[in-house]
Structure 1
Amino acid sequence: MTTLIVLPLLWRTRAPFTSLLCITVAGFVYLATDGPGQPLPYSPLVAIFTVAAQGGLRQRRFAIGLGLPLIAVSVAIRTNTAREYLFAFFLFTMVYVLGVLARTRQAYTEAVELRAAELEKARQAEAERAVERERARIAREMHDILSHAVSLMIVQAEAGPLVVRSDPERAEAAFDAIAGAGRDAMVQLRRMLGVLKDEPSAAGEPSTSRSPQPTLAGLEDLVGEVRRTGLPVTLAVEGRPRPLAPDVQVTVYRVVQEALTNVLRHAGATTVSVRLTWTPDDRLTVSVENDAADVPGPRVRPGPDTGGGRGLVGIRERAAAHGGTAAAGPGPGGRGYRVAVDLPVVVSSPTEVRR
C-alpha cells in the first residue's frame, strides 16, 4: 500500500492533479484498512506542492477546497487532537505557499527571458538601422568629395587646351588647379578611409588624430576654388550669425559644395551667388542661385551619366537629418536654377563666420 501512495509521483509533472487524487485515495484506503506501520506524509506534500506550482487555476481551487476537509477527516480518524489539527493545516498551508512562490518565480523568469529576447531583437534592428544610416552618410560624403573635385578638374582640363598657346600662364594655372583639386580630394578620402579603418599609430595604439570636418569658415575657400575655374561666384551673409553645432556646419558646407558642383557640371551659368540668411526666429536659409545663361564657356558638358540626381537627394537627406527642408527649382522669374535649404539653428560653441 505504501508503494501505491508513492507510485503516482512518477506522473506528477504531466498530471499533477490526477497524481494528487491517486495519492489521496491510496492514503485513505491505507487508513481505512489500518495498514501496517506509519503512513508516509511525503507523497501528499510533494503532490500538493506540484499542483500549486504547475496546476491550473481550477485544479488549485479544487486542491484547497477538497484538501482542507480531507485533512480534517484524516486527523479525526487518527488522533483527533488540537495539536495534530494545527500541525496538519500549517504543513498543508506552507507546502501550498511554497508551490505558489515557485510558480510566481517561474513566471517571472519567463517574463524576464521574453523581455530580454525582445530587447535583443530591438537592439539588432537598431544596429541594422544604424549601419544603413552610416552607409548613407558615407555615400553622401564620398559623392560630395569626389563629384566636386572631379568637376573642378574636368573644367580646368577643358579650359587648359584652349589657352595653352595663347595664354600659357592661364594654362599653367589651370593645370595647377587640377593638381590642387586632386590633392584635396585625396586628403579628404584618406581621412575618411582612415576613420573607417581606424589605423593604429606608430606606437601600436589606435590613431586619434583626425582632420577637422569642414565648417562655415571654409566656405570662402570653397567659393575661391570655384572662382579659379573662371566662374564668378559671390558669397553673402545676411542677418546676425549665430554659432552652429559642428554637424550642422558640415551639412551647410556640403550643401553649398554640391550645389556649386552641379553648376560646374551643367553648362550655361555665368554668375553664381551663395547666400546665408540668418532669421530672427533662429533659422538659417542657405541658397545657391545661378543665372543659367546659355553662353559658351569652359564648363563640363553634360554626359550620359550626370549622377542620376543623387546630389539633390543627398541635399534633402542632409537637411531632413537636422529637421530642415530642401527645395530645388527655377530661380526668380523662371530664370536660372536655385537650391535652397532651411535649417533650424542648433547653438554650439562660438564659431567664426566669415562674410
Structure 2
Amino acid sequence: MPFVVPRAPDLPPATWTAYGLTTLTVVPLVLRRRAPVLVLLTVLTAGALYNVAVDGPGQPLPYTGLVAFYTVAELSSPPKRLGVTVLTAVAVLVSVGLGRQDLRELFFSLFVFAAAYAFGRLTVTRQAYLRAVEDRARQLELTHRIEAEQAVARERSRIAREMHDILSHAVSLMIVQAEAGPVAVRTAPERAEAAFDAISETGRDAMVQLRRMLGLLREPEAAPDTPRAPQPGLAALPGLVERVRDSGLAVSYRATGVPRPPGPAVEATVYRIVQEALTNVVRHAGADTVHVLLDHGTETLALTVTDDGRGPGAHRGPGPGLGLVGIRERAAAHGGTATTGPGPDRLGFRVRVAIPRTAPETGGGNERVAGEAR
C-alpha cells in the first residue's frame, strides 16, 4: 500500500528490504502441503527477522504463520505436531516478550494459533468422514449392482425352467402322438383321430402358456388390472395325468392323507415337478406304466413318481439333464429335497420330492409369481 497511498510522515518508510522479508513469509506457502513443518519454520524465521532487523510497516496478525500452523495440524504426524506446537508457543512468548510485553496480546496470540490448530484437526476429521461416506456409497452401489445381477440371474433361471417345462412337456407329447398316428391310421382310425386331437390340444395349451409368459416379459407393468390366469396347482394334476395318458402311457395318480393347501407357490412347484417327471418318462424311459403318488403329510408334502422303464441311464437324455436339475432347484426353493434313482427292486426310475409345510420360501423358485398368473 505505501507504493499506492503515501504513508504519514511519522511512520517508518517502506523499504525494499522490508518487502523482501515480507515476501519470504508468503512465498513458501506455495509448498506448505509438501513440507508443512519446513514452511512453518521458514515463515516464523522470516517474521522474526522482520521484527528484529527491519523497522518497517507490519501486520497486526501473523497471517502466514497461522496458515502454515494450520497446515501442520492438518498434515503432520502426532510427534511432529507436538514438537511444532511447543516451538510455536515458545516463539509467541519470545515475540511478545521482545515486543510490548502485553499479557492481553500474549493470550490473544496463543488463542489464534490454537484456533488455527483446531481448524486443522477438524479438517482432518471432516475429510475422514467424507471418505467414509464415499466408501459407504461405493459399497452400497456395488452391493446393489451385485443384488441386481443376482436377481437377473434368478429370474433368467426361473424363466428357463418355465420355458423348459412348457415346451419340453408339450413337444414330447406331440412327438409321441405324431409317431403313433400313422400306425393308428392303418389299424385303428378312431385312435388316430384321438391322437391328432391330442396333438392340437397340447399345442394350443402350450401356445396359450407361452403367450402369457411372453406377455409378462414384454409388458410386466403395462396393465396391472388385467385379469391373469393362476399358476397351475394340485387341482390341475388329474388333467395333466389325463393328457399324458392320452399319449398311450398308462399313468395312475393317487393322493393320500388329509389335503391341506400348501400355498399357490408350492402347488405350482409340485405341478411343474410332476410335469417334468412325466415328460422325462415319455421322452427317455420307454416305460409302460407310471405311478404318481402325492402324500399330504402333517409336516411334509411328499411326491413320488415311479415308472417301469429303462432306469436312471435313460432319464439322463442326450442333453445336460436340465430337467432333473430343475426338479432339484424347484424343491430347494421351498426348503425341500429331491432325490432320483432306481425304482423298487432297482427297476425303472423314481423321483422323490419332500417339501416341508412350514419352510420359508427363498428367492430362487416360482414363489415370486406364486399368486400371479402368467
Give the TM-score range, shorter chain: 0.7 to 0.9
Structure 2 match to 1:3: 23
Q: Does 1:258 align with 2:258?
A: no
Structure 1 match to 2:7: none
What SS is found at the alignment partner of 2:26?
helix
What SS is found at the alignment partner of 1:214?
coil
CA offsets 1:110-134 (integer angstroms, 9 cap, x no match): 1111221222222222222222222
What SS is found at the alignment partner of 1:285?
strand
1:22 to partner: Cα distance: 0.8
Q: 2:122 aligns with which of 101, 119, 122?
A: 101
What pairs up with 1:122-133 in 2 under 5 angstroms? 122-133=143-154
Residue type matched to 2:185 in 1? V
1:56 to partner: Cα distance: 2.8
- 2:281–2:315 CA contact under 8 A, matched in 1: no
1:322 to partner: Cα distance: 2.2
1:208 to partner: Cα distance: 4.6
TM-score, scaled relative to structure 1: 0.87
Which structure would you say has the larger Rg?
2
- 2:302–2:354 CA contact under 8 A, matched in 1: yes
Residue type matched to 2:267 in 1? Q
Structure 2 match to 1:117: 138
- 1:146–1:185 CA contact under 8 A, matched in 2: yes
Q: 1:71 aligns with which of 86, 92, 95?
A: 92
Residue type matched to 2:173 in 1? L
Structure 1 match to 2:262: 244
Cα distance, 1:199–1:342 mapped onto 2, change above 3 Å: closer
1:2 to partner: Cα distance: 1.2
Structure 1 match to 2:36: 16
Q: Does 1:225 align with 2:243?
A: yes
Pairwise CA RMSD: 2.5
Q: 1:186 aligns with which of 194, 202, 207?
A: 207
Identity of aligned residues (%): 54
Cα distance in 2 between the residues matched to 1:30 and 1:145: 92
Residue type matched to 1:279 in 2? G
Structure 1 match to 2:322: 310
What pairs up with 1:1-355 in 2 under 5 angstroms? 1-39=21-59, 40-198=61-219, 208-280=226-298, 282-292=299-309, 306-346=318-358
Listed as ranges, the gaps of 5+ residues in structure 1 are 295-301
- 1:156–1:175 CA contact under 8 A, matched in 2: yes
Structure 2 match to 1:299: none
What SS is found at the alignment partner of 1:266?
helix
What SS is found at the alignment partner of 2:255?
strand
1:206 to partner: Cα distance: 6.8
1:26 to partner: Cα distance: 1.1
- 2:251–2:289 CA contact under 8 A, matched in 1: yes
Structure 1 match to 2:13: none
What SS is found at the alignment partner of 1:13?
coil
Cα distance, 1:49–1:267 mapped onto 2, change above 3 Å: closer
Q: Which moved more, 1:252-261 or 1:324-333?
A: 324-333
Listed as ranges, the gaps of 5+ residues in structure 2 are 1-20, 361-369
- 1:276–1:286 CA contact under 8 A, matched in 2: yes
